[in-house]
Chains A and B, each alone.
Chain A
Amino acid sequence: MSDLHVGTAVRVRIQSSADIVTARQEGRSMAATLGFTNTTLTIIATAISEVARNIVEYAKEGEISIAPVGNGIVRGLQIVARDQGPGIVDLDTAMRDGFSTSKSLGMGLPGAKRLMDQFEISSAIGEGTTVKMTKWIG
């Protein structure tokens, strides 16, 4: 069963470290309207921060889209981070804790995965990377 958008998505262009702050604030505010607990709002904002930084560090620019979703049973918030950067050569290694080719010390993607309920990543060399992650309410 696929997750359906049940509200309008907010898109944030990611080009600089200031955009990382904007993206997590947008995510937090949409999550707040959906009724997540305060702790979960912080967890969502932190996960957005990690995937947004991944864009700035590796792809230089990209986009984060945040939308309310539902699958008929539960509602939640879905975040899609997309870039047209160099892509990730070895996804398994990139998702391993502690691995990094840049300066993030490898906490970024595996960290975001731990914070969210669902996490999918796809990447193609020379084409870019897409991360789709969801947090369900309750």
Chain B
Amino acid sequence: MAVPILKQSHTLIASIQAALSDRDLLQLRDDLADLVGRHRARGVIVDVTALDVLDSFATRTLRGIAYTTKLRGAETVIVGIQPEVALAMVQLGLTLEGVPTALDLEEGLAFLDGRAETADDE
């Protein structure tokens, strides 16, 4: 299942709608790496609210998305990790080291706005 990716000003929003296979996740990573350039995006939000499992592969792929888009000049924020999912990740020893997270889409957008303002001030 393809993940719909919306563009809102300089931000791409990937809103995951249902469970994703490993292949779908890799497709999302590749699509975002490409779309960041095409839309000149500075921020990416990956909304995982609909995911009931974030296992080792999914976690590693989300880190991959964040690092890849960073190399393309856009900051990625992962939003919407559910409480049960967070608990299972901790028990499994999974982290999103170095990848910003936010509670939901609204907080994710606020985080990226804050980053943009800081960048403009410099």
CB-contacts of A1-30 with B (<8 A): 16-18, 20-21, 24-25, 28
With A39-B84, A43-B88 already in contact, the answer to whether A49 and B53 are too (CB < 8 A) is yes
**B interface, over-half SS:** helix
Q: Mark A46-69, 1 if CB is under 8 A from B, else 0.
A: 100110010000000000000000
Q: Does B92 contact A (CB under 8 A)?
A: yes
Residue on B nearest A19 in the bound complex, by CB: B21
Interface window among B7-15, B37-45, B54-62, B112-120: B54-62
* Tally of A-B Cβ pairs under 8 angstroms: 69
Report yes or no: A42 in contact with B87, Cβ–Cβ below 8 A.
yes
Report yes or no: B84 in contact with A42, Cβ–Cβ below 8 A.
yes
A115 to B88: give the CA distance in the assembly, Å.
Answer: 8
Interface window among A75-83, A106-114, A117-125, A126-134: A106-114
Name A residues whose Cβ lies closer than 8 Å to a Cβ of B: 16-18, 20-21, 24-25, 28, 38-39, 41-43, 45-46, 49-50, 53, 97, 104-105, 107-108, 111, 114-115
